[in-house]
């Protein structure tokens, strides 16, 4: 019985597990910090109150329950002893014959990690809910504010980073303020909210071709988004941001400017690239430990032209499928072929009915690109119930301009945080947002 | 222009606001701590992973946006100066001609408020998410646990309090363990989980008639719920509970044993009953301040037989409607009539297809009661989109035995809680569940 241990239930780990499902003579253990698989491409919709967390996350157990040889555990991997072939986790030690590391990526601040408190990134459901809380609260605070300067600070939203995530966030935020919330307030005009997208390079969407990026910029401006290029953020705090001498007061800052691979398990001594991705062999294994594979955002591999593969779902899925095929082949004694990425192109959506899409020679923008984006995303959404709900919610949002998940949920759940009987907010002053 | 200030957007406050919508010469301000109206009767479904928070909560702004004379603000009322007719809140001071207090109720521990950390109650969305997190995590921990005693502790769920909330929680939890999760685990058998409902009185559902309560008990036992009556909890900590000399180890304890009214604004000197409800005049006003009304769970009023009105949605809604009518009448110079509650009966649901219902001479149990319960709850769910989604999710859950919202969401959203670049869980040991 071959023991296969998979760390991480993202696109790479989940696809690999599925590919190994019901494989004879193989016992698969999948360990993840969460109990669900997250459909990250739609995370920005949760942050912008368009979807509920449960609509883009499916319990790993329900996806994999039909495979008898797969065990799922919720825990965190800490270290690996490659010579003994043992991984230590928060829920015990696990030995393996084959190990797949697919722990994904984090947002990165490149040495300014203390900015996180005032400029959250968007990689987890918790972060998406936190951003949603900040954005909706900013409008609520502006409504109650009488000082015009403070009011304008609450109505200024900064998104740092002009890649696909920043563009999708900015578009959704522009739409939220210009359409969804337009009628809801009495003291403020939400359509006057400023949404500013800041990019340090000369243009947004640097990975797209120039004409397509220009169309995206125009679509964003159509939603009222200001695009500031060639600006580098030098300071973030709770009053706003600084770009050199320039100061921009803002209550809400969202960080979409950097990504880096999840930290590798301690005990492995391997080379990584500038973003912390493990430099793997062409078959995704480690040179000194051919039984250890790295896949998804954590793996650093280049295409035939020498460009690093992008950190997107299709790469991770293809690597997961490839690993399942390779491991099945190994068991049958077949030699493995190197991994080859079949380019699925790239796309970014802008608001309710526009997108940009590039797939080889095919370059689309506007409504056709958006329509394709919808089809592709729903096709990939795992779990029938989720697919159905997302379609329905989108249809209803599209027709009504409303958003279904506009809740400001607090972080603290306790009514009696100090253990005494005084409810919060009255004679004692509790911090409602967690201690 | 008459200024009407409403504190609280629950059933009472929201219904009152709606009834005053577009009233000429009246300016209505509704202040709530949250930005949404919560459909509390279905809160237990969120706690038991059947529904998503957004499905039972609708932004107050969208419900009331069509009324031009209603302003909605998110904030917390702190105190009132009844002689100056001014309420002080976290977002400023508001003067009023008429004040409606409808701040609802909290779960109560009667002097043991420090138990909350180990036995959360169920009154807010945040608490429902916390209970969901604990319940689902308990199964995950049991799956990873090798010590049989610890495993059994993780698989023991205690619900304290045999009223409708406790009964609904126990039924949903019995069903979750016996049906939804039955196939999902490899090391444990979720159907062996113990769900124990503890009631200090001689029987569960004391407000129902005895035959109906007995039927509810049988339905619960059918779902594997153990019912322990005449047991008083004397201690709760993170290992389990004590009832006198008896100790019961359990990882998950849920508190449904007590309710008390939200604390009254400081500055008011009025009589309250044992549960902190304000003893109001027959027209819901304060004797010394006829321009201040109290409604919903915060008001202490009795029916014609001298029994206190129950803390349920129909009472709050009828009081809200009554207040709107009274205030409209006052403006037109009409004299007010005392409030009279038209009894809407009571009901409690037990799992997927049983319920108990009492409405005057009509006493139903089993599927007919459950069917009526579904119709009534969906009828009262505010907002078309929510109604549609709840029906669809229920239909799909009913057919598939799955639950749509089985997510363990963490309380902490930060990847870099100390502001340095080490991601959690690796070389440094972070507490993932918030600091």
State how far the Cα of A178 lies from the Cα of B149, in Å rounded to an integer: 57
State how far the Cα of B60 lies from the Cα of B73, in Å rounded to an integer: 9
CB A303 within 8 A of CB A289: no
Nearest to A53 among B140, B409, B421 (CB): B409
Q: Among all chains, which residue has been given the structure tokens 């009246």?
A: B26
User: Which chain B residues are closer than 8 Å to A75 by Cβ?
Assistant: 144
User: Which chain A residues are closer than 8 Å to B177 by Cβ?
Assistant: none
> Is residue A273 predicted with pLDDT exceeding 90?
yes
Q: Calculate how close chain A gets to B339, using CA atoms only, in Å.
A: 29
Q: Among all chains, which residue has been given the structure tokens 């006003």?
A: B285
Contact A427 B266 (CB under 8 A): yes
Contact B92 A140 (CB under 8 A): no
ipTM above 0.90, yes or no: no
Residues of A catalogued as catalytic? 168
User: Which chain B residues are closer than 8 Å to A255 by Cβ?
Assistant: none
* The predicted structure's pLDDT at residue B147: 94
Q: Calculate how close chain A gets to B165, using CA atoms only, in Å.
A: 18
Contact A59 B407 (CB under 8 A): yes
State how far the Cα of A342 lies from the Cα of A69, in Å rounded to an integer: 29
Q: Calculate how close chain A gets to B315, using CA atoms only, in Å.
A: 23
pLDDT digits (tens, 9 = 90+) for B110-134: 899 999 999 999 999 999 999 999 9
Tell me the pLDDT band of B384, cut-offs 50, 70 and 90. low
User: Long-range contacts made by residues B344-348, C-beta under 8 angstroms, separation at least 24?
Assistant: B344/B312, B344/B314, B346/B164, B346/B207, B346/B208, B346/B310, B346/B312, B347/B164, B347/B372, B347/B373, B347/B376, B348/B164, B348/B167, B348/B168, B348/B205, B348/B208, B348/B216
* The predicted structure's pLDDT at residue B424: 47
> Token pair for residue B200?
């200090």
pLDDT digits (tens, 9 = 90+) for A53-111: 988 888 999 889 899 999 999 999 999 999 999 999 999 999 999 999 999 999 999 89
Nearest to B76 among A59, A125, A425 (CB): A425
Sign of CA dihedral A229, A235, A237, A240: negative
> Is residue A31 predicted with pLDDT exceeding 60?
yes
- Give counts: helices (H), strands (E), chain B: 10, 24
Q: Calculate how close chain A gets to B411, using CA atoms only, in Å.
A: 6
State how far the Cα of B74 lies from the Cα of B90, in Å rounded to an integer: 9
State how far the Cα of B62 lies from the Cα of B388, in Å rounded to an integer: 16
Residues of chain B with CATH 3.50.50.100: 113-257+346-400
Q: Lay out the sheet containing B70-74: strands in order across.
A: B70-74, B26-32, B2-7, B98-101, B292-294
Least confident of A93-97, A230-234, A268-272: A268-272
Higher-pLDDT residue of A431, A334? A334
DSSP secondary structure of A159-185: EE--SHHHHHHHHHHHHIIIIITTTT-
Q: What is the DSSP letter of B158?
A: E
Contact A266 B393 (CB under 8 A): no
> Token pair for residue B136?
């689902």
CB A195 within 8 A of CB A157: yes
CB A392 within 8 A of CB A404: no
CB B6 within 8 A of CB B102: yes
CB A427 within 8 A of CB A404: no
Centre a 10 Å sphere on the Cβ of residue B280 and count the other Cβ atoms it contains.
23
Per-chain mean pLDDT for chain B: 89
HEC string of A182-222 equals: CCCCCCCCHHHCEEEEECCCCCCCCCCCHHHHHHHHHHHHH
Tell me the pLDDT band of A336, cut-offs 50, 70 and 90. confident
Residue A22: left (phi > 0), alpha (psi -120 to 50), or beta? left
Residues of chain A with CATH 3.50.50.60: 2-33+75-107+259-331
CB A96 within 8 A of CB A5: yes
Nearest to B52 among A52, A266, A416 (CB): A52
User: Which chain A residues are closer than 8 Å to B382 by Cβ?
Assistant: none
* Half-sphere exposure (Cβ direction) of A253: Cα atoms closer than 13 Å: 22
State how far the Cα of B122 lies from the Cα of B38, in Å rounded to an integer: 12
pLDDT digits (tens, 9 = 90+) for A108-163: 998 999 999 999 999 999 999 999 999 999 999 999 999 999 999 999 999 999 99
Nearest to B126 among A53, A127, A409 (CB): A409
Tell me the pLDDT band of B411, cut-offs 50, 70 and 90. confident
CATH class of B2-33+75-107+259-331: alpha beta
pLDDT digits (tens, 9 = 90+) for B63-103: 898 999 999 999 999 999 999 999 999 999 999 999 999 99
Contact A35 B406 (CB under 8 A): yes
Cβ-in-10-Å burial (0-12, 13-18, 19+) of A148 comes to: exposed
Q: Does residue B78 sit in helix, strand or coil? A: strand
* The predicted structure's pLDDT at residue B52: 87
User: Taking each helix axis from N to C terminus, what angle separates A384-400 and B384-400, rounded to the nearest 10 degrees?
Assistant: 170
User: Which chain B residues are closer than 8 Å to A130 by Cβ?
Assistant: 413
Q: In sequence order, what E strands does A201-281 have?
A: 225-228, 235-237, 240-243, 246-249, 252-255, 259-261, 278-279
B168 is catalytic: yes
CATH code linked to domain B113-257+346-400: 3.50.50.100
pLDDT digits (tens, 9 = 90+) for B148-207: 999 999 999 999 999 999 999 999 999 999 988 888 898 899 988 999 999 999 999 999
Q: What is the DSSP letter of B22?
A: T
Q: How far is CA A394 from the centre of its chain?
A: 20
What does the pLDDT average to over B225-229?
Answer: 97
> Is residue A367 predicted with pLDDT exceeding 80?
yes
State how far the Cα of B149 lies from the Cα of B249, in Å rounded to an integer: 9
């Amino acid at each position: 019985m071959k023991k296969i241990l998979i760390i991480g239930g993202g696109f790479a780990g989940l696809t690999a597990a599925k590919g190994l499902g019901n494989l004879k003579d193989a016992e698969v253990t999948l360990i993840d910090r969460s109990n669900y698989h997250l459909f990250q491409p739609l995370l920005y919709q949760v942050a912008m109150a368009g979807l509920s967390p449960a609509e883009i996350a499916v319990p790993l157990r329900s996806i994999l329950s039909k495979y008898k040889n797969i065990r799922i555990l919720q825990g965190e991997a800490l270290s690996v002893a490659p010579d003994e072939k043992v991984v230590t986790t928060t829920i015990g030690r696990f030995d393996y014959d084959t190990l797949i590391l697919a722990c994904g990526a984090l947002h990165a601040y490149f040495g300014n990690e203390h900015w996180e408190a005032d400029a959250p990134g968007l990689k987890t459901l918790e972060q998406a809910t936190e951003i949603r809380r900040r954005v909706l609260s900013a409008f609520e605070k502006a409504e109650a504010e009488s000082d015009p300067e403070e009011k304008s600070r609450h109505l200024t939203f900064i998104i740092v980073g002009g890649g696909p995530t920043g563009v999708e966030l900015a578009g959704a935020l522009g739409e939220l303020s210009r359409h969804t919330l337009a009628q809801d307030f009495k003291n403020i005009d939400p359509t006057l909210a400023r949404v500013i997208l800041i990019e340090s390079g000369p243009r947004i969407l640097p990975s797209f071709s120039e004409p397509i990026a220009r169309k995206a910029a125009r679509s964003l401006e159509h939603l009222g988004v200001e695009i500031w290029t060639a600006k580098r953020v030098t300071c973030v705090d709770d009053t706003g941001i600084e770009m050199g001498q320039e100061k921009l007061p803002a209550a809400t800052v969202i960080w979409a400017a950097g990504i880096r691979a999840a930290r590798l398990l301690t005990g492995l001594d391997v080379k990584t690239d500038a973003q912390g991705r493990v430099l793997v062999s062409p078959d995704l294994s480690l040179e000194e430990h051919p039984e250890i594979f790295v896949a998804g955002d954590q793996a650093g591999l280049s295409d035939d032209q020498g460009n690093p593969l992008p950190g997107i779902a299709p790469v991770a899925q293809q690597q997961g499928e490839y690993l399942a095929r390779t491991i099945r082949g190994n068991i049958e004694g077949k030699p493995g072929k190197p991994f080859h990425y079949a380019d699925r192109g790239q796309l970014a959506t802008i608001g309710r009915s526009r997108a940009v899409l590039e797939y080889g020679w095919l370059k689309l923008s506007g409504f056709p690109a958006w329509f394709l984006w919808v089809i592709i995303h729903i096709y990939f959404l795992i779990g029938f119930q989720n697919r159905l709900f997302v379609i329905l919610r989108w249809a209803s949002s599209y027709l009504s301009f409303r958003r279904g998940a506009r809740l400001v949920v607090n972080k603290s759940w306790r009514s009696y945080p100090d253990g005494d009987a005084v409810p919060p907010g009255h004679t004692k002053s509790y911090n409602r947002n967690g201690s």
